[in-house]
């Protein structure tokens, strides 16, 4: 005890570092998280609400320049498409929604870029590993 400095109230003994003990698991219970799952993903899954889709600054700029906005219904459909792509192990996905093409980072749930209308024709989409057509 000579190497410990105690700054607490008089009469209480100093406390050392907490011991890490494994938490008791219920036999047959599934693990609380999947390997590689972030806390945010685990929380959203536990609450039963999907994590929202975010727009990168580039995607927001592209949508604004084209005069296009996403409705809540479209955002929900895109979120569902990202969930389906994630269930198949996709990392970067092309989501086609009518006259709108979105390249989405599945892991980050972020729309990287957006292409609308006529600009979509004869365009080449690179660095994707999947496509979801809505």
Q: Which residues contact 6 (CB under 8 A, 6 or more apart)?
A: 14
pLDDT on residue 18 = 62
Q: Is 128 domain-assigned?
A: yes
Distance CA 32, CA 26 (A): 11
> How much is the average pLDDT of 66-91?
93
Task: For residue 27, give both structure tokens.
Answer: 């036999």
Q: Is 123 domain-assigned?
A: yes
What is the sign of the dihedral through the CA atoms of 77, 79, 85 and 90? positive
Share of the chain above pLDDT 70, in %: 66
Beta bridge partners of 93: 104, 130
Q: Is 10 domain-assigned?
A: no
* pLDDT over 70 (residue 67): yes
Q: Is 31 domain-assigned?
A: no
Q: Is 110 domain-assigned?
A: yes
Q: Is 101 domain-assigned?
A: yes
Q: Is 4 domain-assigned?
A: no
> Rounded to 5 degrees, what are φ and ψ at 127?
60, 35
Q: What is the CA radius of gyration of the chain?
A: 24
Share of the chain above pLDDT 90, in %: 49
Beta bridge partners of 111: 55, 104
Q: Is 114 domain-assigned?
A: yes
Domain hosting residue 119, numbered range: 52-133
Task: For residue 90, give both structure tokens.
Answer: 């996709």
Neighbours of 11 (CB within 10 A): 5
Full-model pTM: 0.63
Phi-psi region for residue 79, left (φ > 0), alpha (ψ -120 to 50) or beta? alpha
Distance CA 87, CA 98 (A): 23
Total tally of structural domains belonging to the chain = 1
Please answer whether residues 36 and 65 qualify as being in contact, where contact means their C-beta atoms are separated by less than 8 angstroms.
no
**pLDDT per residue as tens digits for the range 6-53:** 566 666 666 666 666 665 655 555 556 667 777 766 766 666 656 689
């Amino acid at each position: 005890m000579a190497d410990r400095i105690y700054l607490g109230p008089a009469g209480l003994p100093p406390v050392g570092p907490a011991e890490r003990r494994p938490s008791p698991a219920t036999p047959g219970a599934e693990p609380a998280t999947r390997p590689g799952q972030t806390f945010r993903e685990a929380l959203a899954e536990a609450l039963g609400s999907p994590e929202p889709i975010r727009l990168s600054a580039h995607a927001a700029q592209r949508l604004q320049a084209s005069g296009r906005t996403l409705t809540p219904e479209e955002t929900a459909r895109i979120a569902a498409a990202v969930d389906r792509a994630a269930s198949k192990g996709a990392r970067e996905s092309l989501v086609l929604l009518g006259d709108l093409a979105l390249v989405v980072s599945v892991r980050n749930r972020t729309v990287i870029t957006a292409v609308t209308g006529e600009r979509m024709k004869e365009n080449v989409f690179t660095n994707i590993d999947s496509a979801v057509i809505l």
